[in-house]
């Protein structure tokens, strides 16, 4: 297809860095349909050649993050031979740092994912977020680093998991006017509580789309304006009572909302 953008992600590790970059770049070309092919854990010349040949066949563009110097050089040379655009987003930065500071890189693939203490803390935080998602166990609120409150469809769960990837233990609670707020919430330091809100029209549309995805009638009480307004008013009154920070997620990405939370908590946004 003429409007297909075939991006080949080649890495000697997982390839998450290259994939994130590829998605960010593809977003600049909304008229093209981006398709991603991942070739992770490339450790041999044969596997690398196979990936580059596949890119040639599909008229693709390669984005690679090869930490193993020999493989990076092979990718550069072979891609030029067969006429495949191959962007190395790793080696130039490594070489610049090496030259500037007279330090040799380790050349170890996937060093950023080294199984150190921080890695296992992250796994524990993710497990915590899953265990205490949607207020499953109120005791989680007292153990959490951050407690997220919000009505349905204000991004509580995805935000919890995103923050868990920053090694933070996050519990969240869906707010429903008819349901009693657990007593544990009032025992949590208000600085740890984040109240999520949104614009009524945005929330109504999110809920309509959710019903459509489930094959249900989108025009029901769940997405009705009166219901949405009642829920948002209830949530805002609770936030005022708790004295917690409130964030409107209507036109913010998960990353933007997380950055505001980290800044509020006095944590490094760029970590």
pLDDT per position as a tens digit, 170-216: 999 999 999 999 999 999 999 999 999 999 999 999 899 989 988 98
pLDDT for residue 117 is more than 80: no
List C-alpha distances in Å: 26 to 10, 31, 57, 79.
Answer: 16, 10, 20, 21
Whether the Cβ atoms of residue 182 and residue 170 lie closer than 8 Å to each other: no
Query: Comparing 64 with 3, which gets the higher pLDDT?
Result: 64
Per-residue pLDDT reduced to its tens digit, 41-70: 898 999 999 999 999 999 999 999 998 889
Question: Annotated binding residues for ADP, as ranges?
Answer: 150-157
**Whole-model pTM over 0.75:** no
Give the whole-angstrom CA distance, residue 86 versus residue 49: 12
Confidence of residue 33 (pLDDT cuts 50, 70, 90): very high
> What's the confidence (pLDDT) of residue 120?
74
The 8-class DSSP code of residue 106 comes to: -
Query: Comparing 188 with 27, which gets the higher pLDDT?
Result: 188
- Average pLDDT over the chain, rounded to whole? 91
Distance of CA 182 to the CA centre of its chain: 29
Confidence of residue 262 (pLDDT cuts 50, 70, 90): very high
pLDDT for residue 114 is more than 80: no
> What's the confidence (pLDDT) of residue 112?
53
Confidence of residue 135 (pLDDT cuts 50, 70, 90): very high
Q: What is the percent of the chain where pLDDT is above 90? A: 73
> What's the confidence (pLDDT) of residue 118?
74
Domain with CATH 3.40.50 in the chain: 4-113, 117-264
Confidence of residue 110 (pLDDT cuts 50, 70, 90): low
Per-residue pLDDT reduced to its tens digit, 123-132: 889 999 999 9
> What's the confidence (pLDDT) of residue 46?
95
List C-alpha distances in Å: 109 to 7, 22, 120, 188.
Answer: 21, 19, 19, 42
**What CATH number matches the domain at 4-113, 1.10.730, 1.10.287, 3.30.70, 3.40.50?**
3.40.50
List C-alpha distances in Å: 81 to 5, 8, 53, 85.
Answer: 21, 17, 11, 10
Query: Comparing 152 with 112, which gets the higher pLDDT?
Result: 152
> What's the confidence (pLDDT) of residue 214?
85
User: Rounded to 5 degrees, what are φ and ψ at 148?
Assistant: -100, 130
pLDDT for residue 116 is more than 70: no
> What's the confidence (pLDDT) of residue 246?
98
Give the domain 117-264 fold.
Answer: Rossmann fold (3.40.50)
User: What is the mean predicted confidence (pLDDT) over 108-135?
Assistant: 77
Question: Annotated binding residues, as ranges?
Answer: 150-157
């Amino acid at each position: 297809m003429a409007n297909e953008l075939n991006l080949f992600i080649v890495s000697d590790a997982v390839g998450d860095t290259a994939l994130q970059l590829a998605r960010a770049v593809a977003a600049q070309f909304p008229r093209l349909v981006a398709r991603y092919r991942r070739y992770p854990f490339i450790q041999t010349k044969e596997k690398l050649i196979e990936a580059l040949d596949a890119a040639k066949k599909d008229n693709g563009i390669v984005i690679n993050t090869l930490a193993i110097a020999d493989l990076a050089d092979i990718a550069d040379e072979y891609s030029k031979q067969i006429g495949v655009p191959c962007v190395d987003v790793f080696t130039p930065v490594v070489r610049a740092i090496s030259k500037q500071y007279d330090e040799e890189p380790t050349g170890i693939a996937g060093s950023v994912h080294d199984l150190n203490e921080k890695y296992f803390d992250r796994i524990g935080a993710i497990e915590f977020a899953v265990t205490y998602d949607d207020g499953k166990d109120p005791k989680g609120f007292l153990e959490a680093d951050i407690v997220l409150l919000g009505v349905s469809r204000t991004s509580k769960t995805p935000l919890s998991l995103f923050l868990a990837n920053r090694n933070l233990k996050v519990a969240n609670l869906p707010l429903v006017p008819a349901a009693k707020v657990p007593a544990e919430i009032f025992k949590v330091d208000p600085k740890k509580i984040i109240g999520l809100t949104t614009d009524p029209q945005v929330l109504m549309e999110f809920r309509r789309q959710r019903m459509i995805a489930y094959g249900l009638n989108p025009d029901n009480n769940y997405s009705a304006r009166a219901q949405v307004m009642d829920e948002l008013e209830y949530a805002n009154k609770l936030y005022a009572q708790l004295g917690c920070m409130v964030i409107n997620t209507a036109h913010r990405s998960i990353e933007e909302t997380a950055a505001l939370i980290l800044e509020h908590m006095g944590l490094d946004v760029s970590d």
